[in-house]
Structure 1
Amino acid sequence: MLTLTKRPYGGETDLEAIANLLEACEAVDRLEQWTTVAELEQDFNAPSFDKQRDLQLWEDDTGELIGFATLWHSPGGELTDGYLGFRVHPDARGGTLEREIINWGEERLRELAKEQGVNSVKLRCNSRDNQIDRIAILQQNGFTADRYFLTMQRSLEEPLAEPQFPPGFTVRSVIAEQDAEAWVEMHNQSFIDHWNHHDLTVEEFKHHCSDPDYKPEFDLIAIAPDGTFASYCYCPIFPEDNKRSGRQEGWVGILGTRRGFRRLGLGKAMLLSGMQKLLAAGMKIAKIGVDYDNPNGARQLYESVGFRKLHTWVWYSKDV
């Protein structure tokens, strides 16, 4: 029987072992979710993440890291849910470790709920729709599917239409320090009516902008004639991922238009502007993630400019 030892994060000395575990998982799962020590460190330093309480490691009797889990939760507003992210070494799957990880996630979320005086919360987890074993484990442990997301892609070697903006609107790149509060307010107003929205904080936005891969020239905002930040599109490029895949890909990482400025063509214009930025940077493929049931027709917008489904991700939840 496998002997498991659970322990909290030990600091930077654990980063390489976590990266190696994720590498072993990626070799089997082929999700194209590569990571580096630097990326892990950036993630763990997020303002809302408690490295000592929201991250757990599992080792076997030789001291090898075979399990890794994080519990992410919103820092602002009433606690409603938490997201459990976990990976298990391929050689250690199918036993008791997955159940132990889910138990830890439930206990940590209950602890947070008690601290905040909340009676009902949901634990969430996701899976690619072809990860049959992972889905079976989630279902066996009380999770049910409640939302579907698509990863879509489009060739940038095909012609791109020119963006058409309403009269009086201007477009420029974000200036992080100067624009932080207005950008965050625009983001929260743009996504307030979306599934499972949690308000972003200015502190989180500034942390995002501190990422070494963040390039402000790919972070565009459309400004209304009265100076209001009305729409935005951020298109990141991940050089390490492209090196691993051998492809030149960029992402439409986030696209939104605040209420009061919708149905003016801003979303399409910003999407095309972002894709032009990726093309100018030498990218040949653009990818995007979208909620299948997005209430504002995002999937139909992406399809209208040539994006097509690549993968489906399923979000699962259970009451805790």
Structure 2
Amino acid sequence: MRPCTDGDLGAIAELFNACETVDQTGIWETVERLEQALNTPSFNRAENLRLWENSEGELVGYGSVWIDPSQDGIDGFLNFRVHPSVRNQGLEEEIISWGENRLKEATKDCNGTVKLYSGARSDRGDVITILQNLGFIAVRYFFRMKRSLAKPIDEPKFPEGFKLRIVEPEKDAMQWVEMFNQTFIDHWNHHDYTVEEFLHDCQHSEYNSDLNLIAIAPDGTFAAFCESRIHAEDNKRNGRNEGWIGVLGTRRGFRQLGLGRAMLLTAMQHLKTKGMDSAILGVDAENPSGALRLYESVGFEKVLTNISYVKNL
């Protein structure tokens, strides 16, 4: 086990893609995308990321812990990968153990709860067994859903007086982040987004301003939002033209007006205009604002399930 350096990004991408060849999630890795993620302002790469090599010096394991304050303590989110050639030989347990110890070390002065989260796709029985054997409990289910854009898309209907426009990051950052946090504050496991993180994400090479939309109320309040992205490398490797509806929400106080549906339909139209054949999104199966029903009502269908696991430390 050792820390990560900038020179490791290519090897990490190769490890992730070796896993993807077997796991077939549809999500591939690039050095550029990795660099963007690992340079997120809130992430401490030196302390919270470790790599594992075999005796030949080949990278076979990856673990990172993202640490965020929660409403009653501190949460950690463990992301790990193990090369298919050495799976189920004890390396998964070693990485998870490191993640637990790292979170304990980082939260030794915390007086509230400390929880470590990780996840597994529902058909990855090997990972599920390992997590359960180590004391993790399934707490939430998330669906990936897909919808063909070849089928007719209803015309979006916005409430009277609401205006739709694209986001201007430098100008809109504070209002956008405040809207985002107010929208998701009542959702499971919400962690506040920061202006710094928002501006960082808008610098991503795959960020497309045409696909970052907000609906503004007659009084000027940012009321609803939807950002979509097109991952060119994924589409190239998968031989498909798919666009992701990454984040969609309606601020409290403006729900039940049809804004969410209008934003979703607009995003679908924009993806189709850019040549996408289908739209993909992820949703909390127990979303309190009825997002799952909304997606099903416009033709999205579940294609896989991801399970969130937690261990109270």
How many angstroms apart in 2 are the aligned matches of 1:102 and 1:216?
A: 38
Aligned residues of 1:231 and 1:267 also touching (Cα < 8 A):
yes
1:275 touches 1:286 (CA, 8 Å); kept in 2?
Answer: yes
Aligned to 2:2: 7
Mapped to 2, the partners of 1:107 and 1:217 lie a distance apart of: 43
Q: Which amino acid aligns with 1:133?
A: D
Match of 2:292 in 1: 299
Counterpart residue identity of residue 318, structure 1: K
The alpha-carbon deviation at position 73 of structure 1 amounts to: 2.0
Deviation sequence 1:296-317 (CA, Å, 0-9, x none): 1100000010001110111011
Deviation, 1:80, is 2.7
What's the offset of the Cα at 1:75?
6.2
Q: Which residue of the partner structure matches residue 182 of structure 2? A: 189
Note the alpha carbon deviations across 1:123-180, whole angstroms, 9 max, x for none. Answer: 1011110011111111111111110000001000000000001110000000000000
Which of 230, 234, 244 is matched with 1:251 structurally?
244
Q: Is residue 210 of structure 2 the alignment partner of residue 217 of structure 1? A: yes
Alignment of 1:88-127 (within 5 A): 88-115=82-109, 117-127=110-120
Structure 1 vs Structure 2: percent identity of aligned residues?
55
Map 1:68-87 → 2, pairs under 5 A: 68-74=62-68, 79-87=73-81
Distance 1:46 1:79, change over 3 A: farther
The amino acid that maps onto 1:34 is W
What is the number of residues matched between the two proteins?
A: 313
Q: Is the 8 A contact 1:113 1:119 kept in 2?
A: no
Query: How many angstroms apart in 2 are the aligned matches of 1:156 and 1:141?
Result: 42
AA aligned opposite 1:265: G
How far, CA to CA, are the matches of 2:259 and 2:197 in structure 1?
26
TM-superposed CA distance for 1:93, in Å, is: 1.2
Alpha-carbon distance between aligned partners in 2 of 1:188 and 1:72, rounded to the nearest angstrom: 19
Mapped to 2, the partners of 1:225 and 1:269 lie a distance apart of 16
For each residue in 1:31-67, what CA deviation from the matched residue of structure 2 results, as whole angstroms up to 9, or x when unmatched?
Answer: 1221101111111100001110110001111111110
Aligned-residue offset at 1:281? 0.4
CA gap 1:17/1:212 in 2 versus in 1, 3 angstroms: same
Query: Helix, strand or coil for the counterpart of 1:107?
Result: helix
**TM-score normalised by L of structure 1:** 0.96
Q: Which moved more, 1:163-172 or 1:78-87?
A: 78-87
| RMSD after superposition | 1.1
Q: Which residue of 2 aligns with 1:128?
A: 121
SS in 2 for 1:231: strand
Which whole-Å deviations, capped at 9, do the CAs of 1:244-271 have from their partners, x for residues lacking one?
A: 1110100110000010100000000000
Local SS of the residue matching 1:276: helix
**CA deviations over 1:65-85 (Å, ceiling 9, x no partner):** 110011012268764311100
Which amino acid in 2 is paired with 1:72? W
Where does the alignment leave 5 or more consecutive residues of structure 1 unmatched? 1-5
Q: 2:147 aligns with which of 144, 147, 154?
A: 154
What's the counterpart of residue 3 of structure 1? none
2:229 is paired with a residue whose SS is coil
Asked if structure 1 preserves the Cα contact closer than 8 Å seen for 2:74 and 2:112, the reply is no
* 2:313 corresponds to 1:310: no
Query: Residue 79 and residue 119 in structure 1: after superposition, are their counterparts in 2 closer, same or farther (change >3 A)?
Result: closer
Q: Is 2:158 the partner of 1:165?
A: yes
Instruction: Report the equivalent of 1:58.
Output: 52
Structure 2 length as normaliser, TM-score? 0.98
